[in-house]
Amino acid sequence: MTEPLKLAVVGHTNVGKTSLLRTLTRDIGFGEVSHRPSTTRHVEGARLSVDGEALLELYDTPGLEDAIALLEHLERLDRPGERLDGPARIARFLDGAEARQRFEQEAKVLRQLLGSAAGLYVIDAREPVLAKYRDELEVLAACGRPLLPVLNFVARAGTRENAWRAALGRLGLHAMVRFDTVAPPQDGERRLYESLALLLEPARPQLERLIQSHEAQAATRLEGGRRLIAELLLDVAACRRSVEARAEPEQEAVRELHEAVRQREQRCVEALLRLYAFRPEDAAAADLPLAGGRWGDDLFNPETLKQLGVKIGGGLAAGAAAGAGVDLLVGGLTLGAAALLGALAGGGAQTARHYGNRILGKLRGERELSVDDAVLRLLALRQRQLLAALAARGHAAQQAIRLDTPQERSWREDRLPEPLHKARAHPEWSSLNPGRRREQPERQEQIRALAAELG
Ligand SMILES: Nc1nc2c(ncn2[C@@H]2O[C@H](COP(=O)(O)OP(=O)(O)OP(=O)(O)O)[C@@H](O)[C@H]2O)c(=O)[nH]1
Ligand SMILES: [Mg+2]
């Protein structure tokens, strides 16, 4: 068993040190994050383990505030005729009274860095390279530990990244990583740990294990997310309601079906958020551009579908109820009914039995409500987009997720994947229908196939 590698996360106050810890540990609840300076007052650690073995310990530290005064103080610590090196000077400082008084916060940082194998020096890359930051780096460098600068706040344009690179180079710091804690690059963790492995060669095996484990976990999460979306789509595609062919019960059934589908989508959103370890409110905020109010409130609004460029099929055009396609088993053939006949022709004995009942229903004057293709398209588009947003989101993010209008065409226009067509003929696959039998191998097979198409 190797000892966990200890890293101190250090830097000026308010540059995102605690945020970096949140993102690297995928823990939205780590420490306290605030726009106010001096939020973190004590050292706090978090451990990253793989298969129960602790590989890395990250220590959050208070922000440095007055490095200029501290550097001056350090320079006065040498006795006459003495010329201490950095670590000796830091050791003398930590033994002195000032380390418990005026520089108490700074002393915590330096003690932690001395007790660590290396430091991650977090930088707000929007800031100019001021003298106070250079002094800060000089004080930290005196601890004699490798420092890896981490450029934060780099997701948006207008940073001073180049000035920082030049300034860090002049201080002998040539390795650095760009890592925005709110929107980390896809390979951000890999780059960060690989850069550390260059500085800390003996720790390379455990850093590589960490990289591999993180990448495997990310792939598993993505697969899990696609499966959740596939289950949602299958549930909705297979959903059916029989209703008496009279205006009042019909309207009531349409309303009830809308609500059931909305709730089903909300359940999927919440499951995705849980899978990615985010808060329920991270995606249910009122200002989602694709939805007013609660997520999914305008799922059945034809205008939403139009804005997204989703093809609006027979059910919507029929106007009986926006979004709830009416398979008219009564009152003539429609597209919906034609599709049903196709399903009947291609389906097995079970399908025939099922449709047999529905044709009986027709004779009794009943209608079948199902959810229109356009709604399936919209669900697929925005859930996929949510999944992509979650995969790219840092756990330091404070704002609710905002989704742009999706650009991709396939789910908007192409024929829907085969599993959804199949599901139309299998009401027993839907958790939204009574009498479902969800553990059926064929349903599972279709979910797998559909999940693969969501990739
Ligand atoms: N947009 C954006 N905001 C960030 C980023 N990193 C941090 N923040 C914000 O910056 C502020 C400071 O973040 P903290 O993580 O508390 O910073 P800190 O360095 O730990 O601060 P102290 O503990 O006070 O020294 C918070 O409001 C964060 O939400 C980032 O990459 N992008
Ligand atoms: Mg902090």
327 and 258 assigned to the same domain: yes
| Position 257 in a domain | yes
Ligand positioned closest to the Cα atom of 63: 1
Does the C-beta of 16 come closer than 6 Å to ligand 1?
yes
Does the C-beta of 34 come closer than 6 Å to ligand 1?
yes
Counting atoms of ligand 1 from 1, which one is nearest the CA of 32?
16
Q: In what order do the strands lie in the sheet with 240-244?
A: 240-244, 366-371, 324-327
User: What is the per-residue pLDDT across 263-285, written as a single tens digit (0 to 9) for each?
Assistant: 898 889 889 999 999 988 777 53
Q: What's residue 199's pLDDT?
A: 96
Counting atoms of ligand 1 from 1, which one is nearest the CA of 35?
27
167 and 246 assigned to the same domain: no
191 and 64 assigned to the same domain: yes
CA-nearest residue, atom 14 of ligand 1: 16
189 and 324 assigned to the same domain: no
273 and 339 assigned to the same domain: yes
237 and 136 assigned to the same domain: no
Q: What's residue 334's pLDDT?
A: 29
Q: Identity (one letter) of the amino acid at 318?
A: A
Domain that holds residue 12: 5-199
425 and 321 assigned to the same domain: yes
Distance 122 CA to ligand 2 centre (A): 11
Region label for 56, one of left (φ > 0), alpha (ψ between -120 and 50) or beta (otherwise): beta
User: Does residue 239 contact residue 394 with C-beta atoms inside 8 Å?
Assistant: no
Does the C-beta of 396 come closer than 6 Å to ligand 1?
yes
Counting atoms of ligand 1 from 1, which one is nearest the CA of 180?
31
Does the C-beta of 398 come closer than 6 Å to ligand 1?
yes
177 and 232 assigned to the same domain: no
Q: What's residue 328's pLDDT?
A: 35
Ligand positioned closest to the Cα atom of 10: 1
Distance 386 CA to ligand 1 centre (A): 24
What is d(CA 125, CA 122) in angstroms, rounded to the nearest whole number? 9
Structural domains in the chain (count): 2
Maximum CA extent, the chain? 108
User: Does residue 433 contact residue 427 with C-beta atoms inside 8 Å?
Assistant: yes
| Position 183 in a domain | yes
Q: What's residue 259's pLDDT?
A: 81
pLDDT in single tens digits along all 455 residues of the chain: 678 999 999 999 999 999 999 999 999 999 999 999 999 999 999 999 999 999 999 999 999 988 999 999 999 999 999 999 999 999 999 999 999 999 999 999 999 999 999 999 999 999 999 999 999 999 999 999 999 999 999 998 889 999 999 999 999 999 999 999 999 999 999 999 999 999 999 999 999 999 999 999 999 999 999 999 999 999 999 988 777 767 787 778 777 887 888 889 888 988 999 999 998 877 753 334 443 333 444 566 555 555 555 554 433 333 333 334 444 332 222 233 333 433 333 444 444 455 455 544 454 566 677 887 878 888 888 889 889 999 999 999 988 887 766 667 778 778 899 999 999 888 889 999 876 665 788 999 999 999 999 98
**CA atoms within 13 Å, Cβ hemisphere of 362:** 15
290 and 180 assigned to the same domain: no
Q: What's residue 53's pLDDT?
A: 93
Cβ atoms within 10 Å, residue 63: 23
pTM for this predicted structure: 0.84
| Position 325 in a domain | yes
170 and 234 assigned to the same domain: no
273 and 163 assigned to the same domain: no
Torsion 344-350-356-361 (CA) sign: negative
Name which of 284, 262, 272 is nearest 379 in CA terms.
262
Q: What's residue 363's pLDDT?
A: 45
Does the C-beta of 18 come closer than 6 Å to ligand 1?
yes
Does the C-beta of 159 come closer than 6 Å to ligand 1?
no
| Position 70 in a domain | yes
What is d(CA 62, CA 12) in angstroms, rounded to the nearest whole number? 8
Ligand positioned closest to the Cα atom of 123: 1
Q: What's residue 357's pLDDT?
A: 54
| Position 275 in a domain | yes
25 and 156 assigned to the same domain: yes
Q: What's residue 92's pLDDT?
A: 96
| Position 102 in a domain | yes
| Position 211 in a domain | no
Residue with tokens 């520089």: 103
Does the C-beta of 33 come closer than 6 Å to ligand 1?
yes
User: What is the per-residue pLDDT across 315-360, written as a single tens digit (0 to 9) for each?
Assistant: 333 333 333 444 433 222 223 333 343 333 344 444 445 545 554 4
Residue 446 CB burial class (10 angstroms; 0-12, 13-18, ≥19): buried
| Position 63 in a domain | yes
Does the C-beta of 83 come closer than 6 Å to ligand 1?
no
Distance 23 CA to ligand 1 centre (A): 11
The encoded tokens of residue 192 equal: 């960060």
Pocket test for ligand 1, best of 9, 10, 13, 14 (most atoms within 8 A of CB): 14
The CATH number assigned to the domain holding 61 equals 3.40.50.300
Does the C-beta of 182 come closer than 6 Å to ligand 1?
yes
Q: Of 153, 181, 199, which marks where a domain is finished?
A: 199
Ligand positioned closest to the Cα atom of 127: 1
Name which of 222, 226, 217 is nearest 453 in CA terms.
226
Q: Of 179, 199, 219, which marks where a domain is finished?
A: 199
